[in-house]
A and B are shown apart, each in its own frame.
Chain A
Amino acid sequence: MIADVLRDGLALWPVATPLAAAALATLLHRRPALQRAVMEAAVALTLVAAALLLAHAARGERLVMAFGGWGAPFGVTFVAERLGAALCTTAAAIAVAVAIFARADVRARRRRAGFDPLFLGMLASVNGAFLTGDLFNLYVWFELMLATALGLMTLDRRRAQIDGALRYAAMSMMGATFILVGIGLLYGAVGTLDMADLSRAIAGRAPSVTLTTAGYLLLAGLLLKSGVFPFFFWLPASYHTAPIGVAAALAGLLTKVAFYACLRVLVLVFGVGASAPAVSGMPPLLALLAALTMLVSVLAAIAQVDVRRVLAFHVMGQVAYLVMGLALASSLGTAAAIFYTMHTMLVQTGLFLGAGAIARAGGGYDLRAAGGLIREHPFFAALFATLALSISGVPPLSGFWAKALVIDAAVRARLPWSWWLIAIALVTGFLTLYSMSTLWTQAFWRPPKRRERRARPIPPAMVAAVALMAACTLGLGLAIEPAVRLSRAAARELAPEPPRQRRPPDVPPALPPARGAP
């Protein structure tokens, strides 16, 4: 009986668990130790729930949870497919690493400022965005995510944090405005908000002014939130100001949720990649934006001297590869983007957590003053090197496979601009390797500026958190076969069903005989 209820509502647990725990943690705000226990238990439970969900989804079961018993076109549903379940599991793994890191990084002052409820709230909204089947509901989760992220970003109430959060909030609200208008126009044109239903209703429709406007508005809003070229400046203006554990969670989660929404909206709803998409002209635009984002962000990263800033620019550089996969408008490209998303979530979080540990050991984030950490911390140096090599695409880590899959899909797509895109992706990969190896050498390898200064110890919790993420990227790289099979199946599941019957082509009605003709 209870087992049945648990199983039927499984799609809800990765959201309900952290949300309930966030409420509980808010009530316990005077008891930091208890609050931490609640947070850690909830994060662990979320991981279990997400993994169970993934096990179900990987077998091809489509778990649907309709709230209040109102089915798809009328009510809001939660749908657990392979894509959502896999990203949920990845998000939960990240949350576990951040929760471990927080044992050393988040002290009583930050807990009193509300770290635990805000973090749980963010986890719940991220999972909600991954699992919801309703477009408007997706928007609601986005806004909840933004509100909690702003709270987390300004935990210490430093000037720079307020400043960064202000910029982030303003740009995100702007993006939300675009998304909301897009959703409104789409509803006005089609009359449903359920994504699967929208997909069925739109499939086979010729591009119209309303659909095109709605599509491009949604694209603009979602790309803004993913940090893609013309609207990315909020990201490097704010990520480096957040407390480092929080920055790690933001880097791993936020932009990727926005990209996930992009994937869902473009591929499932608008049928980009299908034989007749409902909006035209998106793939070349996406390819151009991806190429510009890659080049601009990696060159900007090389110019930086603050570890957090270098990594913030790489967050965008990696998102560009995801957009590249989407731009190919093929099932293989989508599958590559899905695998890349899982990889980059883990690695970005690991790198930001590693930056926190570097700062703890070396006394600051400035690379010009850093050096020599390898003498005291050889194991940690190896862990950070694993993550740095993974983001640069060195085998056998997951980053190599992610890049290889995207480029392979680009070769097979045979689009007129494929080769340009591949060339830029390879150059960016090389420059990323240059940037990350410089960072590693400056922080670990070269002799310290002042020889008498010894590196301070790194708390074991920090090393454990970084080790978890490094193990994940190594594991994902070694278990490449099932991971690729999962992402290809997820991509096939995402693509809309072919329309059962196409509308007959619009034949101009025969002209009525002119009045008064003989």
Chain B
Amino acid sequence: MSVLLALVASGLVGCGLYMVLSRHVVRMVLGLSLLTTAVNLVLFLTGRVRSTQPPLIREGSERLGDSADPLPQALVLTAIVIGFALTVILAVLTLRAWRAQGTVRSDELRAARALGDPSTPEPGGDR
């Protein structure tokens, strides 16, 4: 089971990285959310995949028996929320970029690059 999950995580990372490298911003956003999912899977795996018993230590015992470590599951929950929030922010920015500039290709979004670029003509124009 662990090996299967690890393979799935690596597949997700591969797809995510491929999509992040795209010039199309929407594809990049989707790629980032795939990466986030893959990371969550890795976090989940660090708690080890074991039986479904609740993580309670038996009386008189000092070690957790056969159940999985519960802490990574709490971490995954937090990471999902944070990843979701940031993906939404990224999606909003993409939407605004689309509305303002009519394109979501990263090489055609030039507003930030053009601002204060040394090759633009001098303001005022008297030289």
Convert A122-162 into 0s and 1s, putting 1 for each residue whose CB lies closer than 8 angstroms to a CB of B: 00000000000000100010010011001000100111111
Q: Is B7 an interface residue (CB 8 A)?
A: no
A369's partner among B71, B93, B101, B122 (CB-CB below 8 A) is B122
Check B86–A241 contact: CB distance below 8 A.
no
CA distance A161 to B96 in the complex (A): 10
Q: Is B1 an interface residue (CB 8 A)?
A: no
- Say whether, besides A181-B42, A188-B46, A162 and B100 are in contact (CB < 8 Å): yes
Convert A187-207 into 0s and 1s, putting 1 for each residue whose CB lies closer than 8 angstroms to a CB of B: 110010100000000000000
Which chain B residues border A147 with CB–CB below 8 Å? 85-86, 89
Q: Smallest CB–CB gap between A333 and chain B, Å? A: 32
CA distance A180 to B39 in the complex (A): 7
Check B126–A146 contact: CB distance below 8 A.
no
Residue of B nearest to A308 (CB): B116
Convert A387-407 into 0s and 1s, putting 1 for each residue whose CB lies closer than 8 angstroms to a CB of B: 000000000000000000000
Q: Is A165 an interface residue (CB 8 A)?
A: yes
Question: In chain B between 32 and 70, which residues have their CB closer than 8 angstroms to a CB of chain A?
Answer: 32, 35-36, 39, 42-43, 45-46, 69
CA distance A209 to B88 in the complex (A): 35
Which chain B residues border A305 with CB–CB below 8 Å? 116, 118
A180's partner among B29, B69, B79, B116 (CB-CB below 8 A) is B79
CA distance A517 to B19 in the complex (A): 60
Q: Is B4 an interface residue (CB 8 A)?
A: no
Check A166–B122 contact: CB distance below 8 A.
no
Which chain B residues border A187 with CB–CB below 8 Å? 43, 46, 71-72, 75
Q: Is B15 an interface residue (CB 8 A)?
A: no
Check A143–B82 contact: CB distance below 8 A.
yes
Which chain B residues border A169 with CB–CB below 8 Å? 86, 89-90, 93
Check A170–B112 contact: CB distance below 8 A.
no
Check A185–B46 contact: CB distance below 8 A.
yes
CA distance A188 to B39 in the complex (A): 13
Q: Is B114 an interface residue (CB 8 A)?
A: yes
Q: Smallest CB–CB gap between B104 and chain A, Å? A: 10
CA distance A159 to B2 in the complex (A): 46
Residue of A nearest to B43 (CB): A184
Which chain B residues border A160 with CB–CB below 8 Å? 111-112, 114-115
CA distance A181 to B46 in the complex (A): 10
Check A154–B116 contact: CB distance below 8 A.
no
Interface contact tally, CB-CB below 8 A: 128
Check B82–A162 contact: CB distance below 8 A.
no
Q: Smallest CB–CB gap between B12 and chain A, Å? A: 11
CA distance A157 to B97 in the complex (A): 10
Check A306–B89 contact: CB distance below 8 A.
no
Which chain A residues border B117 with CB–CB below 8 Å? 306
Q: Is A366 an interface residue (CB 8 A)?
A: yes
Residue of B nearest to A142 (CB): B82
Q: Smallest CB–CB gap between A400 and chain B, Å? A: 30
Check A237–B118 contact: CB distance below 8 A.
no
Q: Is A243 an interface residue (CB 8 A)?
A: no
CA distance A118 to B41 in the complex (A): 31
Q: Is A225 an interface residue (CB 8 A)?
A: no
State the interface size on chain A (CB cutoff 8 A): 50
Check B112–A177 contact: CB distance below 8 A.
no
CA distance A365 to B101 in the complex (A): 24
Check A309–B123 contact: CB distance below 8 A.
no
Q: Is A368 an interface residue (CB 8 A)?
A: yes
Convert A360-402 into 0s and 1s, putting 1 for each residue whose CB lies closer than 8 angstroms to a CB of B: 0000111011000000000000000000000000000000000
Check A369–B124 contact: CB distance below 8 A.
yes
CA distance A306 to B20 in the complex (A): 31
Counting chain B CB atoms within 10 Å of each CB, the highest count among A188, A237, A241, A303 belongs to A188
- Say whether, besides A159-B101, A166-B93, A184 and B42 are in contact (CB < 8 Å): yes
Which chain A residues border B101 with CB–CB below 8 Å? 159, 163
Residue of A nearest to B44 (CB): A184
Check B82–A140 contact: CB distance below 8 A.
yes
- Say whether, besides A169-B90, A366-B122, A240 and B39 are in contact (CB < 8 Å): no
CA distance A158 to B109 in the complex (A): 13
Check B94–A166 contact: CB distance below 8 A.
yes
Check A366–B116 contact: CB distance below 8 A.
yes
- Say whether, besides A160-B114, A169-B86, A240-B116, A188 and B45 are in contact (CB < 8 Å): yes
Q: Is A515 an interface residue (CB 8 A)?
A: no
Nearest first, the 7 closest Cβ-Cβ pairs linking A and B are A306-B116, A188-B46, A159-B111, A163-B112, A164-B112, A160-B111, A184-B43
A interface residues (Cβ-Cβ under 8 A, vs B): 136, 140, 143, 146-147, 150, 154, 157-167, 169-170, 173-174, 176-177, 180-181, 183-185, 187-188, 191, 193, 237-238, 240-241, 303-306, 308-309, 364-366, 368-369, 449-450
B interface residues (Cβ-Cβ under 8 A, vs A): 20, 25, 28-29, 32, 35-36, 39, 42-43, 45-46, 69, 71-72, 75, 78-79, 82, 85-87, 89-90, 93-94, 96-97, 100-101, 106, 109-118, 122-124, 126
Can you give 25 contacting A-B residue pairs, CB < 8 Å? A140-B78, A160-B111, A162-B100, A163-B109, A163-B111, A166-B25, A169-B93, A170-B90, A173-B87, A176-B86, A181-B42, A183-B43, A184-B72, A185-B42, A187-B72, A237-B112, A237-B113, A241-B112, A241-B115, A305-B116, A306-B115, A306-B116, A364-B123, A368-B122, A369-B124
A-B contact sample (19 more), CB < 8 A, given A161-B112, A187-B72: A136-B75, A136-B78, A140-B78, A140-B82, A147-B89, A159-B111, A162-B93, A162-B96, A162-B100, A162-B111, A173-B36, A184-B39, A184-B42, A184-B43, A187-B75, A237-B112, A241-B111, A304-B118, A305-B116
